[in-house]
Structure 1
Amino acid sequence: MLPPLKSLPVFETVARLNSFSRAAQELNVSQSAVSHQIRILENHLGESLFHRLGRNLELTKEGKQYLDTISNSLLQISEATTQIKGQQKTHIRLAVYSSFAVYWLIPRLPELKRLRPNLELSIEMSHGSPDLSDRTADFFITIEKEKRGFLFESFYEEELFPVCSYSYLETIKSRLNVISSKELMEKLNTTPNPLAQFSLITSHSIYDRHFEDWKRWFSNLQQSLPSTVQFHRFSHLMLAYEAAKHSLGIALVNDYMMNEKNDETALIKLPCSAFKTGDNFSLAYKESRKNEEAIQYLRKWLNEEAKALYRDN
């Protein structure tokens, strides 16, 4: 039996905006009309779809399951309608990790706009793995590997390597008593590794604990992290990057943070080992939307830019 169809887009809007009042504004109806449609749908299903705790609104378990089931159907109806009307969707919501968005994606957006002026791209920035759902975004860059109904394409394999500011590099050279880049490389690839005598910058965001990034870097050299190391601790890789820019010490960052598509990068990559974090980034989007022109264009452009990243590094 079909549900009351008029209620479905109202339910999707409330769930997406997490608000009856904002849904009413978007749908250009009264808040009581929105509440009425949700009540009709809940009565038809025999289940509560939302927890209402004062002004806070949250989907119930049944509400989440129902939204995941119907959202794709609503999207397909919308897409079929625009195709019949001869319209192409040009607005794409891209969910991406914050450091990737700031250091790699945003510097490239002017070129994307030049190549595809009609493509409207909204960036949904995430500190953790974004929820793979139509209510979050249309297209994702994620370390998730699978979800029913989604296609995944390998995009980027993360490596971390030591970097510092140009002024801090002079401090390193002075303390190690070297002048040339060749001498520095030889010094930085000895055992025990001399970086332990400098201030190291550690971030919490990749391994959910401080020091683990440097432990793994030293372990990659088959060495233990010295107990005498002085650390500066930060919650996120972006903060570690910024701290290194201001000569606080040596940080571990990745390729995309050092590939800002300009000649003004404030950090220099030290001539020593890198290690793989184990995080493999993928492009992800709904299988049912794989033939959309905007989805395919964004997919192609991101892959081309990723190839350039590997080529340049």
Structure 2
Amino acid sequence: MKYPPLKAMATFETVARLNSFSQAADELHISQSAVSHQIRLLEDFLGETLFRRLGRYLELSDVGYAYYEAIAPALAQIQRATVEVQGQETLSVRLALFSSFAVRWLIPRLPDLQRQHPTLDLALEMMNEAPQLTDRVADCFITLLPDSRGFTTEALYTEQLFAVCSRTLWQRMQDDWAQFDWSDDAQGISPHILQHYPLLSVHSIYGQRSEDWRRWFAAAGETLPEQARLQHFSHMLLALEAARHHQGIVLTNDYMFQPAQDTDLVKLPFHALITGDVFHFACKTHRQHEPGIAMLRHWLRAQAKVAGWIM
């Protein structure tokens, strides 16, 4: 059996992963015309078109996508075997995750990761939407998907929403309702007391305006008060900033609110709402024992334990 040209396959893997001829040329340190030549060699060998150009945009053909998914793990294994024989060890890992999780929780902890694992070269791919689980995007992921074919997943955090406001607004609330004992989880105090203050709603949580507060009240067996004053935001980062500037009360979660950092904010003594979203660490099953991926997975689990998210 005649094998396809290895250089052309490696060039194809790079173009497919980066979705760009020019970026592939930069990574491979060759000209863009040389990249095009290698792709043509492989297409001629296979007798198939691997890429489609849609104006200025590039995408894999159906055959190209299937071929990439099949050969990328094999090329990675060849690279790992070569590194082992040479007595070297690569610990470069690409992690794809939600931008809010990265900015508010992961990045402040990266100095600890660097201290514990100085040989780990971590590159972050921050996404606004749930990342597609494929080696083209990253080596591993923090995702809401509990199961995906060919992937091993591990739960890190079960999301809950709780009420937060600025210290200034919290003091005002205590002054307004001095007859209540706020020290014991606000027991016996109805959540309806919050209707007297602006409620900051984030519609990206449930995809509907005011739905976060409606469900939070429902979890206490109550309805969202009709007279409640709601302000609407597209993202929790924006609503948290508004709360920080005394503009109202926001529902947030454990990775967005960090008590040690957010000293100007206060978690109110009311119930929490379990959203049903669970954040998982995910990687290809056949890659889970690669040194860099395993190192990152164990560190993330340790951080989740310190935060009290998992046992």
TM-score by length of 1: 0.91
Residue matched to 1:40: 41
State the Cα deviation string for residues 133-171 of structure 1 (Å, max 9, x = none): 112111211111122221111111110000001011123
CA distance in 2, matches of 1:48, 1:230: 57
Residue matched to 1:171: 172
SS of equivalent to 2:118: coil
One-letter amino acid of the structure 2 residue matched with residue 92 of structure 1: V
One-letter amino acid of the structure 1 residue matched with residue 109 of structure 2: R
One-letter amino acid of the structure 2 residue matched with residue 35 of structure 1: S
SS of equivalent to 1:256: coil
SS of equivalent to 1:162: strand
Please state how far the C-alpha of 1:175 moved relative to its aligned partner.
3.3
Judging changes above 3 Å, is the alpha-carbon distance between structure 1 residues 44 and 311 closer, same or farther for their aligned structure 2 residues?
closer
Residue matched to 2:159: 158
Residues 259 and 309 in structure 1, CA contact (< 8 A), matched pair in contact too: no
CA distance in 1, matches of 2:266, 2:82: 52
Residues 99 and 128 in structure 2, CA contact (< 8 A), matched pair in contact too: yes
Matched, 1:250 2:249: yes
CA distance in 2, matches of 1:106, 1:211: 30
Please state how far the C-alpha of 1:78 moved relative to its aligned partner.
0.9
CA distance in 1, matches of 2:271, 2:48: 57
Matched, 1:108 2:72: no
Please state how far the C-alpha of 1:238 moved relative to its aligned partner.
1.6
One-letter amino acid of the structure 1 residue matched with residue 298 of structure 2: K
Judging changes above 3 Å, is the alpha-carbon distance between structure 1 residues 64 and 180 closer, same or farther for their aligned structure 2 residues?
same
Residue matched to 1:147: 148
CA distance in 2, matches of 1:267, 1:141: 27
Residue matched to 1:209: 208
Residues 144 and 280 in structure 2, CA contact (< 8 A), matched pair in contact too: yes
One-letter amino acid of the structure 1 residue matched with residue 268 of structure 2: L
- Picking from 288, 292, 305, the partner of 2:290 is 292
Moved more, 268-277 or 303-312: 303-312
Residue matched to 1:63: 64
Please state how far the C-alpha of 1:264 moved relative to its aligned partner.
4.6
Residue matched to 2:227: 228
Please state how far the C-alpha of 1:311 moved relative to its aligned partner.
7.1
One-letter amino acid of the structure 2 residue matched with residue 279 of structure 1: D
Please state how far the C-alpha of 1:179 moved relative to its aligned partner.
7.4
CA distance in 1, matches of 2:205, 2:66: 30
Matched, 1:127 2:128: yes
Residue matched to 2:79: 78
SS of equivalent to 1:6: helix
Please state how far the C-alpha of 1:196 moved relative to its aligned partner.
2.0
One-letter amino acid of the structure 2 residue matched with residue 9 of structure 1: A
Name the Cα RMSD after superposition: 2.1
State the Cα deviation string for residues 246-265 of structure 1 (Å, max 9, x = none): 111111111122236x3553
The unaligned stretches of length 5 or more in structure 2 are none
CA distance in 1, matches of 2:179, 2:102: 37
Over the matched positions of the two proteins, sequence identity in percent amounts to: 48
Please state how far the C-alpha of 1:10 moved relative to its aligned partner.
1.1
SS of equivalent to 1:10: helix
Aligned residues: 309
CA distance in 2, matches of 1:125, 1:46: 36
Residues 184 and 269 in structure 2, CA contact (< 8 A), matched pair in contact too: no
Residue matched to 1:278: 276
Residues 173 and 184 in structure 1, CA contact (< 8 A), matched pair in contact too: no
SS of equivalent to 1:117: coil
Moved more, 140-149 or 157-166: 140-149
CA distance in 1, matches of 2:137, 2:72: 11
The unaligned stretches of length 5 or more in structure 1 are none
TM-score by length of 2: 0.92
One-letter amino acid of the structure 2 residue matched with residue 83 of structure 1: E
Residues 155 and 282 in structure 1, CA contact (< 8 A), matched pair in contact too: yes
Residues 164 and 251 in structure 2, CA contact (< 8 A), matched pair in contact too: yes
Residue matched to 1:28: 29
Judging changes above 3 Å, is the alpha-carbon distance between structure 1 residues 120 and 183 closer, same or farther for their aligned structure 2 residues?
closer
CA distance in 2, matches of 1:104, 1:233: 24
